[in-house]
Structure 1
Amino acid sequence: MDYFRELLFCSSLLLIIIPSTAVDSISTTQPFRDGDSIVSASGSFKLEFFSFVGSINRYLGISYNQISATTIVWVANRGTPLNDSSGVLRITSQGILILVDQSGSTIWSSNSSRSARNPIAQLLDSGNLVVKEEGDVNLENSLWQSFDYPGDTFLPEMKLGRNKATSLDRYISSSKSVDDPSRGNYTFRLDPAAYSELIMREGSSEKFRSGPWNGMRFSGTPQLKPNPIYTYRFVYDGDEEYYTYNLVNSSFLSRMVINQDGNIQRFTWIDRTQSWELYLSVKNDNCDRYALCGAYATCSINNSPVCGCLEGFSPNVSKDWDTMDWSSGCVRKTPLNCSEDGFRKFSGVKLPETRKSWFNRTMSLDECRSTCLKNCSCTAYANLDISINGGSGCLLWLGDLVDMRQINENGQDIYIRMAASELGKAGSAEAKSKEKKRTWSIIISVLSIAVVFSLALILLVWRKKMLKNRKKKDILEPSQNNQGEEEDLKLPLFDLNTMSRATNDFSPANILGEGGFGTVYQGKLNDGQEIAVKRLSKTSKQGLDEFKNEVLHIVKLQHRNLVKLLGCCIEGDETMLIYEMMPNKSLDFFIFDKTREKVLDWPQRFHIINGIARGLLYLHQDSRLRIIHRDLKASNILLDHEMNPKISDFGLARSVGGNETEANTNKVVGTYGYIAPEYAIDGLYSVKSDVFSFGVMVLEIVSGKRNKGFCHPDHKQNLLGHAWRLFTEGRSSEIIAESIVESCNFSEVLRSIHIGLLCVQRSPRDRPSMSTVVMMLGSESELPQPKEPGFFTTRDVGKATSSSTQSKVSANEVTMTQLEAR
C-alpha cells in the first residue's frame, strides 16, 4: 500500500513540475489530434476537428467559441476531408503545418518561404491562425497565416486584396453547400485588371462589380457608410492594395460571407435571439447584375423597364431592347470628332468598369478634364477621391462605359464625352466662342434699346436688393458684445437654388423632422457634403425669433460637442439654417427604442454623457458668451458617425453677462420632463437649469426610460422619483437598462446615477456646476449625498402648470411656447 502511495505522490509531483503549454498554441513537440482543441487568449475562437451534421467526413477548422450556434469561419482541408478521426496536425521544425491521415499521407499543408528556429502555431483573438517564431509578437514577421488564405468568410482585420511584390491574392470563395466546405463556383476578390474595385464571379463569368473606391466607399455600394458596428477602409500601402474593416466594439460579432448561391452578406450576432441576423447584402436588386444594360446605359430599379440609354445615346439593337434584352447596350446618336467635343455631367451614378482606365492622384478636376479632352480615346472622367470638399485626383475611361446604374443616395458624378452638337450651348470651346461672337453682334445691333431695358433692370434689381438687404439686416444685424461694440457674424450665405438642389426641391422624402421652427431636411451639396437644412415656416412668428436667436448664438460657438452651423439662406421669403449632417440622428432615436437600444452599449453611453457635459461646460464657462441653452433634451443631442454627441437647437438659448449666471423671464419656454422647477414655476433660469436637464438625460441614458410619461406599478413617481427611491434604498442597480447590463462597468454606472441625482436636486444652489460635473465624471472621488429631486411626482408637474399662467404644457418631445408671440 505504501508503495502505491509513493507512486501516486511522485506522479502528482511530476505533473506539477512539467510546465504547461499555452492553450492557444501548438509547438513542434505537440501533435494536435482529433479531439484536441486550442482556444484564442480571450476565448473568442477555437481550432478543432469537426464534422457537419449527417456526415462522417472530418475537417480541421476555426469557429466562434463563445456563442451557441456553431459557426465555422475557416477550414484547412476544405477540399480534402478525412474519412475518420485519425487526423493529426503537426508543425515541422521549418514552420510548415502538415495534416496527415492514419496512413501518414499528407491531406493538407501550409507553405512558407522562410524558416524559424522555434516555430509555433498560435490562434489569435482575431480568429487568425499564425505560424511564427515563438515570442515574436510582430504579425508582419509571421511565416504563414490563415488570414492570407480565407475560405467563404471575411472576418474583421482580414485583407481583401493583393500584394504585388509577393503575388499573394487574398479573396473569399463560396462553399459547394452548407455541409460541403469545398470550393464552390463563386469568388469575390479585388479585380487585378481594374482600378481598386471588387468583382464577384461565377467561374470566369462576372456577376457583380462594386465600382471603384472613391475615398469614402466603393461607388456602387451606397449602403456602405459610417455606422456604429464597424469601420472600413481601402489601403494603398506600397506594394499592397486591399480592403479591410474593424469592429467598433470588440464585444460585437460581425462577419461577411459569400454563400453557395453567390450572395455576399454581412451578419451580426444578436445575444437576445442567440442567432445571426442579416445586417446588409452587397447585392440588393436586379440592377446589381453585372453589365445588365450593356454599354452607355444605366439601370434604375425604379423605372420600367429598368434599363435606359444615357442622354445622347440610343439602343444599339432596337429589336433586342423591345424583348427586354439590353446586353447589346447603346450607341452614340452623334459620333465624336475629337477636336470639338465637350462633356455632359451625369450625377448619382455607379461609376463604369475601370479595366480600361487611367488615374492620377494629384490632378484637379479641371486638369482631369483637359487631359481627357486631349486624348481622343478618352470617353469620360471623374474625381478619383470625393472624401474631401471639391474632390481630388483624376480617373479617365479609355473605352466603352459599361455597368452603370442610377443610385438614389451616395452616388457619384461622371463627365461623359459628347459631340458638340449634343451639348448645344454647353459644347466645345470653339462652339462657345462662336456663341459669344453672335451674342456681341446682337448686343451691338440693338444697343439703343438695350440701354433702356438695362436701366429699367438695374432699377428693379437695386430695389429688390435693398428689400433683401433690409431683411438680412433685420435677421442678421451685428450683435453687441459686453462693451456695446458691434461684432460681425461672418456667416456664409447659401442661395436658394443650391438649397433646392441639395434637398431634391425640398422633397418630403428628405424630411428629417418638424417643429415650431418649421421643417428640417436632409441634403447634399454639389461637393458631396451632407447637410441638414432647417427651413423656417412662412407662417411661424415663433420660428423667426428662434432663427435670429440661433444665428446670434451658435455662429460664435466652436466646440467638438456642439453641432456646427455651416451657413444660412435668406432669399425672397425663404429663411434657412444649414448645419453639418449628423448621420446617426439623435440620442432619443436609440435609447428609447427596444430594437436600436442595443447599438449603444455602456462604454458608448458613458462617452456620450461625458461629451454632453463637456459641451455644456463650454457653453456655461469657456465660450465667448455665457450661454444658457434652456431646451436640453435627448432629441436635441445629435450623434455623428462615430457616435460623438453634439448639442443642437439653440433657438431658445439666452446669453448672460460674463459674471452673471441667472436671469428672469415671464416667457417660460422649454420641454416638461427636462425643465427645472424654479424656471417652470417662477420663470428664473440659470446655468443650473441646464444642469437639471443634464441630470434628467443622464438618468434616461442609464435607464433607457423617458422621464416624462414614466410609470411604475408601485408608485406614481416619474423617472426622477423612481431613481431617488431606489438610491435611498440602496437598489440603484435596478434602474439600469437590460440592454447594457452585460457591457457596463457597475461602479461607473452607479456613479453616473449618483451624479444624475445631484444634478436634479430641487434647489439650484444644491446642484453642482458643469465644471464640477465634468470633474466628478472623470474621477473616483467621494460624492456628496443628493437631496430630494425637483418634479419627481406627477403632482409636481400639475402644480407647476397651475402656477405658470404665462405658458402651456406640451408633450415630452415638444417645446413649450408662450400663448402670445415671443
Structure 2
Amino acid sequence: MGIRFLKFIIIILLQLFFSSFLYGTDIITSSQNLSDGGTLVSSDGNFELGFFSPGSSGKSRYLGIWYRNIPVQNVVWVANRCNPINDSSGVLMINNTGNLVLLNQSRSVVWASNSKKEAQNPEVQLLDSGNLVLQDRIAGKPTLMWQSFDYPTDSWLPGMKFGWDLSTGLNRRLSAWNSPDDPCPGDLTYGIELYGFPDLVMRKGSRKYSRTGSWKGIVTNQFITTTAISNEQEFCLIYYPKTKSVITRLVLNKTSSKAEHIIWNEEGRTWTVYSQFPSDDCDNYGSCGAYGNCVNTEIPPCQCLKGFKLKSQELNSVDWSQGCVRNNSLDCQKGNGFKKFGRLKVPDAEHSWVNEGMNLHECRAKCLENCSCMAYTTLDIKEDRGCVIWFGDLIDLKFFPSAGQDLYIRMSAADSDHEETKGNTKMKAALITAAAILVVISVVVITYYIRKSHRSVEEREIFRRNERQNEDLELPFFEFVVISKATNDFSSNKKLGEGGFGPVYKGTLPDGKEVAVKRLSRSSGQGIVEFKNEVALIAKLQHRNLVKLLGCCIQGEEKMLIYEYMPNKSLDHFIFDDTRRNLLDWSRRFHIICGIARGLLYLHQDSRLRIIHRDIKASNVLLDNEMNPKISDFGLARTFAEQSDAKTNRVVGTYGYMAPEYAINGQFSVKSDVFSFGILLLEIISGKKNRGFYHLSQNINLIGHAWRLWKEGHPLELIDSFVKESCTLSEVLRCIHVGLLCVQQHSKDRPSMSSVVLMLGSENKLVQPKEPGFLFVEKCPEIDPLFTKVESSSTNEISLSMLEPR
C-alpha cells in the first residue's frame, strides 16, 4: 500500500512540476504543457487534440486529433502511431530547441516534431481545419515551423495538401491503421508517385494494388472541389467542401482496402461513403495484363485491344495475367504506325516521359523515332498541349464509357490507322528526299571548300583532328569560354566534388539553367577514347533513372561533360552521414532502391545499346530535387551483344563493389552490375559501407555481417536505426533477401535485373541464398599507384582504373 501511494504522489508531483493543466484552449506556449486528461480545442469547436486509447487497446495511450462532436470513427491524426505510452503519464510540451515533443513517465521522448529550424518564441495551435501547427511568433507575426498536415496518417482533410513538396522532398501520403486497435501504419498506402506522368497509386506493401491513372481520377462532385497544384515547388492535390456545413474527409480503410470519401450525416449521426477507390474489379491493378482492356460492363471484363490477341490460352483455360500481344509483330526497321484507342484510363506511368511544350504531332514524331516507345497522348486535354509517351508494355488499361482519354498505341503498318500509315509513308519519303538533297549539297560545299582553302598543312591537320574528335557525339557543343564563365573560372566555391577522373563544378548557363560540369584532369586515366565512350553511350540513353547529359566541350587538352544539375548530390551524401541519414526514411530508401534497379534493367535490357555500367556504387547515384535516383558516370561502361560475359586485362571500378570473378579474373557481364547493386542495396538498408565496415571478432565485412545475421535468424538487426520506426519490416526483409541473392559467389546464382525488379515489386516466395562472395575483410590487391584514383574526399574510396588480375 505504501509503495502504491508513493508512486501516486510522484506522478502528481511530476505533473505539477512539468505541466500546466490545460483544457479547452487552442494554444500551448513554451511555458505550458499538455498532460493526459487535458485537451486543445480549435476555436470553432470542431477539432480536439488530446490523449486517447483506440478500440480495445486498453492502457495504450496515443496523442491524436479527432472531431470533437462526432462520436464514431472520429480520429483524423495520430502523433506516436507505433510508440504508445502504457499509462496516463504522457506530457506534450515545447522543448528548449523550439520543437514539439511528447514525453513518457521516464521523461523519454516518445515523439517529436523535428522542425529543422529553431524558434525564438514558439507556440502550438490547433487550427479550425484540424491542422496542428508549430509557429514562431515574432513581433506578433507567426512563422510556420511545422504542421501536422505535412505528416498525414490515414485521413486527408479539406485544405490539406496531398502530394509532394519538391523543394524539400516531403511526400504527403496516407497509410492505413494496422487495425482498429493499432494506429501504427499497416501495409496499405496511398499517394502520388512522381513518374514522368504522375500517378495516384495505392499499394499493399511494395505491390501496386490500384491506381487512378491520372489527375482526372480524383473526385470533384456536388460536395467538394479538387484542385491540382503543379509547379517547380510542389506537385499535389487539395480539396475543399463547396459549403461550410459539409463535414467530409478521405480515409484509407484497411478493412475494405479502399480510399473512402465519407461525409457526416448529422440526421442519422453516421458517416456515409459517397465515393471510394478502387470502385470496381477493373480498378485492381493490372487485372487484364499487358494490353488487356478492362471493361466493367462486359462479361468477362477483360478484353484484348483491337489488333491484339490473348497471349496464353489453353483448352477451357484463359490466363489474363499474361495479357495480350499484337496480331502482327512490330518491325522498327520496316516501319510502324499508330492506332487511336479512345476513352481509356492511361497506362501505368512508371516508364513514361513528359514534355509540356510539344504538340500532339511533335509527340507522335518523338515516339516514332524510339523503337521502345509504345504509345503517346496529349498531356493536357483541355488546353490541347503537352506530350506523354510510354516505354515498354502498357499495363492497367480500363475503358470509361463517358470519360477517359485518347491513346495512340504503336502498331505494325498493317494494323495502323489508314491516315496514320499514309502520313508515316509521306513523312519517310520527304525525309529521304531531304536527306539526299542535303548529302549532295554537303558534298559540293565540302569539295569546293577544300579545293579553295589556303590553310597551311598544320591548320588542315588541326581541322581534321577536331573533326575526328567531334564526330558521332550527337550532342550540343559548348564553347570553353561559356563553361568557364558559368563556373566563375572553375572557382573552388563552385566545386561539387572530386571524381575518379577529375573535379565536378556547379555552373549557371547564360539562360539561367543550372548544370554540373565534369572537367577531366589532364593526369586522369580517362583520355579521349574513354571520354568519347562516355559521351557516345549516355547521349543515346533516355530513362528517368539515368542522369541526363546536356552537352560537352572539347578544346585543346580540355575535355568536359555538362550534365543536368542534381541539387541533392549523391546517395552517399545521405546514407553514410550521421546528420543527413535521417532525411531518408524507409519509403524514400525503398523508392531509391527500386529506381536504381529500374535504371540498371534499362541499361541491361531495354536501351538501344545494351550496357554494363561496371561502377555501380553510392557515389555514382545522384538524387534530384524529388529524391529520385539517377545513375551517373558512364566512363567505364561497356556495350555488349549476346555473349554472356567478356574478359579484360584492364579491371576498372571501385574495390568493395566488384564481383569476385571480375576483380580476380577480369571476367565481367551484366551479373557484375547485379553484384554491385546487391552491395549497394545492403548499404542503403544498413547505412554502412561494405568497405570500411568490419566485425572485429570475425574479420567480416558488411556482406559477411548480413550473411551471419541471416543464418542466425536475425536479419532485421541489419536495419539502419534511423529507419526502424518508419519501415515496413516485410519489405525490408525482402530487400535483404534480394541483396543476398545479388551478391552470390558465382554469377550464375545471381538473378538478372529483370528478376530483381520483379522480386522487389511482388510477394512471391524467393529462393534461399547460398553463401555470398567476398565475405571477409581482405587487403586490397597491390595496384600500380599510377592507375589509382581517389574517388572523393567524402567517400574516401578507391577507384581502380587499371588492375592486373592474378
TM, length-normalised to structure 2: 0.48
TM, length-normalised to structure 1: 0.47
Larger-Rg structure: 1
